[in-house]
């Protein structure tokens, strides 16, 4: 068995009477790409926020890279990163300035070389001198991904990593993420509504419903178990079930 890099045990999060997570448990092995699926309000974003140490759980345990994220998250954070198209960077700074500042925050020595490398791969070279606020939604998504890869993270958490991208750009990004995982051995956890993307990228899937894990398995196993043609049909059946 591969080493578990992400370990979640009996995780619960409540906001007053609202239950966001209710006894969630799962693991992600080193070098694995897993997906957290679920409708709006299912608990995906809350789970990612707790994994990053941004939210404290009501109860339960969360360990990333062997570190208790409730008590000692700063021991793991330098080896992690996060990307989401819904988290903006400073609009007045150029793309280069944004990436350079984050590189400094990550304690990177060879920032310039890494920024240029990612800019070429993610087709950002012509955008480096432009203010971040002037970019399109798809361009911002690529900048956010570049930011998340600056420190070559061992654990990369992603919320809708190809949102707002055209099909060609999205497929290029997916190919790059697969290459990055193969070359670095990194562990990836993706929260997504894009079922085709999940089938393309992920080794294992956890489907959340009402703050609980309703189903888990490889994409192929879930499709076969529910007798459906694809993962999207599986997702819809689980989302609409009354159990």
For residue 198, what is the domain's CATH number?
3.40.50.300
Model confidence at 24, pLDDT cuts 50, 70, 90, reads very high
The separation between the first and the last C-alpha atoms of the chain, rounded to the nearest angstrom, is: 33
pTM of the entire predicted model: 0.92
Q: Does residue 194 fall inside a structural domain?
A: yes
Q: Does 243 have pLDDT greater than 70?
A: no
**Average pLDDT of the residues in 55-74:** 94
Q: In which domain, by residue range, is 223 found? A: 4-86+155-240
* Number of domains composing the chain: 1
Q: Does 1 have pLDDT greater than 60?
A: no
Give residue-wise pLDDT tens across range 135-167: 999 999 999 999 999 999 999 999 998 988 899
Rounded-to-integer distance, Cα 152 and Cα 182, Å: 13
What was the pLDDT predicted at 184? 95
Better-predicted residue by pLDDT, 2 or 44: 44
Q: Does residue 177 fall inside a structural domain?
A: yes
Model confidence at 40, pLDDT cuts 50, 70, 90, reads confident
């Amino acid at each position: 068995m591969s080493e578990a890099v992400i370990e979640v045990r009996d995780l619960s999060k409540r906001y007053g009477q609202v239950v966001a997570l209710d006894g969630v448990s799962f693991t992600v092995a080193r070098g694995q790409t897993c997906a957290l699926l679920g409708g709006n309000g299912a608990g995906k974003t809350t789970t990612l926020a707790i994994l990053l140490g941004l939210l404290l759980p009501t109860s339960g345990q969360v360990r990333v890279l062997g570190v208790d994220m409730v008590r000692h998250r700063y021991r793991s954070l330098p080896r992690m990163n996060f990307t989401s198209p819904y988290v903006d960077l400073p609009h007045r700074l150029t793309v280069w300035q944004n990436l350079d500042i984050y590189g400094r925050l990550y304690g990177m020595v060879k920032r310039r070389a890494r920024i240029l490398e990612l800019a070429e791969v993610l087709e950002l070279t012509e955008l480096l001198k432009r203010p971040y606020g002037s970019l399109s939604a798809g361009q911002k998504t690529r900048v956010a991904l570049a930011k998340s890869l600056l420190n070559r993270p061992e654990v990369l958490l992603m919320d809708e990593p190809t949102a707002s991208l055209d099909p060609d750009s999205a497929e290029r990004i997916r190919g790059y993420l697969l290459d990055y995982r193969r070359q670095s051995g990194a562990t990836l956890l993706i929260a997504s509504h894009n079922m085709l993307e999940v089938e393309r990228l992920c080794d294992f899937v956890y489907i959340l419903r009402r703050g609980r894990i309703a189903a888990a398995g490889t994409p192929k196993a879930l499709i076969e178990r529910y007798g459906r043609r694809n993962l999207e049909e599986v997702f819809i059946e689980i989302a609409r079930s009354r159990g």
